């Protein structure tokens, strides 16, 4: 069986390797070079323990999350599957693994709408792993199924003194919007490097001046004089598409809108969906993919949605209560997830 994978991010690379390992003939098409133009804070939170530690690119195991709501909470994350990674190195490793398994990777090969239609004719199956701007959805004139509810983000990578964040990540919730800003260090030293970004999860896009918000955050954190190495950002889809299967195409990762609706992390779901889509094809049961996926992650999705809705209704004080008194809701939720 011949499978085309569109997109060489975590979802596409995982799908491609899994499919090849299970006897399928796989060609992967990537717009740029593998590991280029990545939009990500690079915190890998495998909350369900379904992915395991990334095989390469791990910068450190996160020991503590500094979460500021009104007060600052120091959350011990030693028992959580949470790593800070360098995504470019991880993705290049995944690509090497996929090649070793027999995947043919074509870099700098963007698939346009008309190409997508040809792939759907020429290959038995297509896996659409093209991210938030899913090319297979665009090909059917669908301009926003996985984008109509999306977090808006902007991020920069900058040099500075991040020694106080050794083995830690920092996230700050603010009262004037639903979302948060983050400082995720890639090098937590005096002459360090960090990804600093802000995400708006529920806000009319016309009203946000993203750059101004980012500079406000930099000032608030006393980072305004740090050299900025690059700007990134974009949308994180928070709306799941349904069905995942469209003709002979399966949607995975951000193309299927699978990032966390609560905090926008999507690396774990990209890996899980890529793997399950490929396995269901190899087993001759593509229809089973969507059900299989939700069976694994339903509880996580329900809990995240519930917290998000309460945050929306009750504002930041609900989040404060959640972290001030985690025994009531947060800890039981985490335990129920970890025992999935
Ligand atoms: C600013 C920001 C910060 C984030 N931080 C985190 C975080 O810290 N932790 C976390 O878990 N998640 C984070 N996310 C979300 C995470 O980045 C995504 O959920 C994840 O990358 C999804 O993986 P994917 O493989 O589905 O898609 P992507 O990683 O987007 O990969 C899609 C790939 O397809 C390629 N492509 C696209 N169109 C075409 C085409 N037409 N033809 C060929 N190739 C194509 C792209 O070049 C890309 O390589 C963040 C997102 C943003 C925007």
Q: Please indicate whether residue 8, judged by its CB atom, sits closer than 6 Å to ligand 1.
A: yes
* pLDDT band at residue 78 under the 50/70/90 scheme: very high
In the prediction, which pLDDT does 55 show?
A: 97
Residue found under tokens 């009203």: 207
What is the C-alpha to C-alpha distance for residues 91 and 43, in angstroms, rounded to an integer? 14
**How confident is the model over 247-278, as pLDDT tens digits?**
999 999 999 999 999 999 999 999 999 999 99
Is the CB of residue 32 below 6 angstroms from any atom belonging to ligand 1?
Answer: yes
Least confident of 35-44, 101-110, 142-151: 142-151
Cα–Cα distance measured from residue 135 to residue 6, given in angstroms and rounded to the nearest whole number: 8
Per-residue tokens: 127: 């896996």
The verdict on residue 66 lying in a domain is no
CATH number at residue 272: 3.50.50.60
Q: Has residue 165 been placed in a domain?
A: no
In a domain, residue 332? The reply is yes
Which of 28, 236, 240 for a ligand 1 pocket mutation test, highest count of atoms within 8 Å of Cβ?
A: 236
Phi, psi of 222 (to 5 degrees): 60, 40
What distance in angstroms lies between residue 82's CA and the mean position of ligand 1's atoms?
Answer: 18
Q: Is residue 259 part of a domain?
A: yes
Let me know if 50 is exposed, middle or buried by CB neighbors in 10 A (0-12, 13-18, 19+).
middle
Ligand 1 pocket, residue 54 CB under 6 Å: no
State the total domains in the chain: 1
Percent of the chain scoring above 90 in pLDDT: 86
CA of 327 from ligand 1 middle (Å) equals: 34
Whole-number average pLDDT of the chain: 93
Strand bridging mode 249-251 / 125-128: parallel
**Cross-strand partners of 27:** 4, 104
CA 237 – ligand 1 centroid, Å: 10
Distance CA 279, CA 18 (A): 7
Q: Which atom of ligand 1 is nearest to the CA of 253?
A: 26
What the block records as the tokens of 137 is 């959805």
Residue 39 beta carbon below 6 angstroms from any ligand 1 atom: yes
CA 72 to centroid of ligand 1, rounded, Å: 30
Ligand 1 atom 18, closest CA: 266
Give the N- to C-terminal CA distance of the chain in Å, as an integer.
33
Q: How far is CA 91 from CA 38, 246, 311, in A?
A: 10, 27, 34
Asked if residue 227 belongs to a domain, the reply is no
Please give the distance, rounded to the nearest whole angstrom, from the Cα atom of residue 258 to the centre of ligand 1: 11
Beta bridge partners of 75: 65
Band of residue 325 on the pLDDT scale cut at 50, 70, 90: confident
3-class state of residue 125 by DSSP: strand
Please name the residue whose Cα sits nearest to atom 50 of ligand 1: 40
Q: Which residue range is the domain that position 128 belongs to?
A: 2-38+86-148+238-338
Share of the chain above pLDDT 70, in %: 93
Task: Assess if residue 91 is contained within a domain.
Answer: yes
Answer whether residue 11 is part of any domain.
yes
pLDDT tier, 202 (very low <50, low <70, confident <90, very high otherwise): confident
Over the stretch 133-149, which tens digit does the pLDDT of each residue have?
Answer: 999 999 887 766 666 78
The predicted model scores a pTM of 0.96
* pLDDT on residue 204: 66
Q: Which ligand 1 atom is the nearest neighbour of the CA of 29?
A: 43
Residue 132 included in any domain: yes
């Amino acid at each position: 069986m011949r499978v085309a994978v569109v997109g060489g991010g975590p979802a596409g690379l995982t799908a491609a390797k899994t499919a090849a390992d299970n006897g399928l003939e796989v060609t992967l098409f990537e717009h740029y070079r593998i590991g280029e133009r990545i939009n990500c804070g690079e915190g890998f939170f495998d909350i369900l323990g379904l992915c395991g530690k990334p095989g390469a690119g791990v910068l450190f195991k996160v020991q503590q999350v500094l979460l500021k709501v009104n007060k600052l909470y120091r959350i011990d994350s030693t028992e959580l599957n949470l790593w800070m990674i360098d995504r470019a190195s991880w993705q290049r490793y995944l690509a090497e693994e996929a090649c070793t398994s027999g995947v043919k990777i074509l870099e700098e090969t963007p698939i346009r709408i008309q190409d997508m239609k040809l792939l759907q004719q020429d290959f038995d199956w297509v896996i659409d792993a093209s991210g938030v701007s899913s090319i297979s959805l665009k090909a059917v004139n669908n301009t926003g199924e996985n984008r109509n509810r999306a977090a808006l983000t902007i991020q920069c990578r900058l040099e500075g003194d991040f020694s106080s964040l050794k083995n830690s990540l920092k996230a700050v919730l603010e009262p004037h919007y639903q979302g948060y800003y983050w400082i995720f260090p890639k090098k937590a030293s005096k002459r360090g490097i960090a990804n600093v970004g802000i995400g708006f999860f529920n806000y009319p896009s016309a009203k946000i001046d993203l750059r101004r918000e980012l500079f406000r955050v930099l000032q608030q954190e006393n980072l305004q004089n740090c050299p900025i190495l690059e700007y990134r950002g974009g949308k994180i889809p928070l709306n799941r598409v349904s069905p995942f299967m469209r003709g002979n195409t399966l949607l995975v990762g951000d193309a299927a809108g699978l990032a966390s609706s609560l905090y926008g992390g999507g690396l774990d779901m990209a890996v899980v969906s890529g793997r399950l889509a490929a396995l269901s094809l190899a087993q001759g049961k593509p229809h089973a993919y969507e059900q299989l996926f939700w069976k694994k992650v339903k509880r996580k999705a329900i809990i995240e949605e519930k917290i998000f809705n309460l945050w929306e209704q009750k504002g930041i004080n609900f989040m404060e209560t959640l972290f001030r008194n985690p025994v009531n809701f947060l800890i039981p939720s985490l335990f129920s997830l970890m025992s999935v």
